[in-house]
Structure 1
Amino acid sequence: MMQRLKVAARRVAIAGMALGVVCTTQAATVPDVVDASEQWLDQQAQSQRRVDDLGDQRRSLADEYRTTLREIEGLEAYNQQLQRQLKLQRDEIATLDNSISQATAVDRQILPLMLQMVDSLKQFVSLDLPFLPKERAERIEFVTQAIDRVDVSVAEKFRQVLEAYQVELEFGRTIEAYTGMVDVSGQKLEVDFLRVGRLGLFYQTLDGLQSARWDQASKQWVALPASERNPIRDAIRVARKLTSPNLLTLTLPTAG
């Protein structure tokens, strides 16, 4: 572009010479005109460069503006998503607070119930046949301590209470034999106990010579005749799974 301007200026200078444009007081020679033309061309070139620079700056600013707009749109979308998440979290917190308040109310109600259940179980065991006294007492004590512990959840406490009830329930549907000690006339004897559900509790000395049945009415052992030795011995073998199940002929207490 500068080259075209310079050529045009030279043509203007030559045309001026041909027409005899001469000023008497401020006469300009050809070199002066050429210099003036070149200065003008340089100024035009500088102006054009400034225009180009401004154009580049404008395009750069426009790109930055569009980028900023996209970032703003992205931030607005992200902010809306965060607002939705915060609302969901607030709703969930409100639900949890409501559940906690309800659970607290249930805890206050269920704790007395569990204590009452344990007391009832303790009373039931004390009135029941005296089989496995240590094991049953330890189970009740374990449940009682669990209820008092703060590091055990209410659900776990209630589960343990129900499990203790379940164990006691199973005693009424099973037959069991185990070895233990019994006080006979002030003498400690090691015997085999036989429990038939909750219908009868027997013992037989290890030598098989003495047998007895627990009398619930009198709360004491009643000696059995020698004719009961073999049936009790056979029942003990069945309870220990040493022989196949068979018909048991035991003398059971009658309802008084």
Structure 2
Amino acid sequence: MFSLTSMRVLILSALVLAIGSASAQLDEAIAKQSSRVERAAQAQDQVDAIHDQTRDKLAEFKRVTKQAEGLRVYLQQLQKQLQNQATELAEIEQSIQDVAVIERQIVPLMLRMIDGLEQFVSLDLPFLLQERRERVASLRSLLERADVTVAEKFRNVMAAYTTEIDYGRTIEAYRTTLPGTDREVDVLRIGRIAMFYQSLDGKEVGRWNSFSQSFEPLSGAYRGQIGQGIRIAREQAAPDLIRLPIPTAGASL
């Protein structure tokens, strides 16, 4: 029979063994839990890292998408510009072809215009004949030059026509030699209506007769009027009304 003391020792031993076993199990459980917590922390760190990477990738995706949209719009604009440039290029090429056609047509036109100008000068009142004939000759010479553009040639032809037109709207006085003589006279031109002359001493006056194609003398009654007209043309006197004889068929003064 076990004594009470032996029983207590046995119970105490059993308790010690039970406590030791429970403690070992607890330690093992704590170790396992710690391992799980550590793995969970590592997993969370991985999740956080993946989240950060995903966020960065998303931001990069948005940035790249925005750039791509900007490039798409830019490419569309470039496409429109290229289309417009292609249209302009076609128009320029057509214009070049048209210019070539115009040049082939305008050169004969300028030749006819110069011929017409030369004929007009020969049939007009004989004022500034040398200057006007030289202008026509200069136009013919200009037309033969290869270093002058067609546009510049045409501009000069039109300038000559403008000059001739202006003669019909102005009065002018200049000194020249009376045709058929060696006498210098002052000539008064009234547009293209009439031409008069006055000797340098003011004693002799005359007019151009378009029908006889020569100057004819006038009576001394017109000396004052012709002299006044010369002074007005030279801006030596204020504009004023003057009475001058206009030649008519068969007229003689």
TM-score range, shorter chain: 0.7 to 0.9
Residue 52 of structure 1, CA deviation: 1.9
Partners of 1:207 and 1:165 lie apart in 2 by 36
Indicate how the Cα distance of structure 1 residues 54 and 210 shifts in structure 2: closer, same or farther if over 3 A, else same: same
Greater alpha carbon shift after TM alignment, 224-233 vs 49-58: 224-233
Q: Aligned pair count?
A: 232
Say whether the 8 Å CA contact 2:225–2:242 is kept in structure 1.
no
Question: Deviations along 1:17-43, whole A, 9 cap, x unmatched?
Answer: 769459xxxxx5766665555444333
- 1:166-212 per-residue CA deviation (whole Å, 9 max, x = no partner) reads 33233234432222334664x3x332111233343222122112334
For 1:81 and 1:141, locate their aligned partners in 2 and report how far apart those are by CA, in whole Å.
Answer: 56
The root-mean-square deviation of aligned C-alpha atoms, in Å, is: 3.4
Output the amino acid matched with 2:194: G
Q: Does the 8 A contact of 2:110 with 2:157 survive in 1? A: yes
Q: What's the CA shift string for 1:98-143, capped at 9, x where partnerless?
A: 2332232122212211121012102221232221124323443554
Distance across 2 between alignment mates of 1:213 and 1:103: 49
Contact between 2:206 and 2:215, CA under 8 Å: does it hold in 1?
yes
Q: Distance in 1 between matches of 2:43 and 2:49?
A: 10
Aligned partner of 2:113 in structure 1 is 117
Given that residues 200 and 253 in structure 1 are in contact (C-alpha distance below 8 angstroms), is that contact kept between their aligned partners in structure 2?
no
User: What pairs with 1:63-212 in structure 2 (closer than 5 Å)?
Assistant: 63-141=59-137, 143-144=139-140, 147=143, 148=145, 150-152=147-149, 154=151, 157-182=153-178, 185=181, 187=182, 189-212=183-206
Task: Please identify the structure whose Cα radius of gyration is greater.
Answer: 2
**Uncovered stretches (5+) of structure 2, i.e. residues with no partner:** 1-17
Give the unaligned 5+ runs of structure 1. 1-16, 23-27
CA separation of 1:89 and 1:243: change in aligned 2, threshold 3 A: closer
In structure 1, the residue matched to 2:223 is 229
Aligned twin of 1:12: none
Residue in 2 aligned with 1:254? 249
Alpha-carbon contact 1:192-1:206 (below 8 Å) kept: yes
**Amino acid across the alignment from 2:223:** R
TM-score (norm 2): 0.73
Match of 1:47 among 25, 43, 47: 43
